[in-house]
Amino acid sequence: MARRDGGRLCRTLIDEIDRLSPTRNRWRPSFQPVVAQLDGCLARGPKETSYLRGAVAAMKPHLNWHRAPPNPALGRFDRHHAFSTIVGPTDRVPSDSLMLGLMIVDRATHYPGHAHDADEVYLPLSGDAVYHVAPARPGRPRDGRYLPIPAGARHALWTGDVPELIVWAWMGNIRGGYRIAGAAR
């Protein structure tokens, strides 16, 4: 199932990127404490994602970093993550059907199990996190491989000794719900 869904999500993502208009909104840079880890994330990682780490380095001064709304269910994750949305309805590259951005999760941090109505793809650029997309077993994609997360599938991650840098994309029902679903282990 995961492989078939992965192909569908990847084709959808490519189609959405092909449809992006040349219009660009202004960058609106902002910062979060965990973003101090970004240079370290960009300096390490597999060769398969080095071209993307270079692209992130070029955008670094412009990125708008935010945190998820405060939620006790997020625990330590709340103050130990940041995300930057590059493509989206009100973001640098406008789209009403695709959201695409970056996320940093600090070392030794659990992003609790959650689910949403949008389809998602994760592409880890740097780090050693373990990912869990139910009902599959926890694991880590091979270097340079993406992780498909169909709408409604509960997913979580745990970082290890270093922070994790991820490219993420939301497709489909990007204005739908988001639910914290509790710890997956």
Q: Which residues of this protein are in contact with Fe ion, per CB under 5 A?
A: 120
Asked if 126 and 38 count as a contact pair (C-beta separation under 8 A), the reply is no
Considering the complex, state which of residue 120 and residue 164 has its C-beta at the smaller distance from Fe ion. Answer: 120
Smallest gap from residue 133 Cβ to Fe ion (A): 9
Smallest gap from residue 25 Cβ to Fe ion (A): 24
Residue nearest to Fe ion (CB): 120
Smallest gap from residue 153 Cβ to Fe ion (A): 9
32-to-1, 10, 37, 90, 163 alpha-carbon distances in Å: 37, 30, 10, 20, 14
Smallest gap from residue 66 Cβ to Fe ion (A): 15
List residues bridging with 132 in a β-sheet: 156
Asked if 139 and 106 count as a contact pair (C-beta separation under 8 A), the reply is no
Considering the complex, state which of residue 106 and residue 120 has its C-beta at the smaller distance from Fe ion. Answer: 120
Asked if 88 and 100 count as a contact pair (C-beta separation under 8 A), the reply is yes
Considering the complex, state which of residue 113 and residue 163 has its C-beta at the smaller distance from Fe ion. Answer: 113
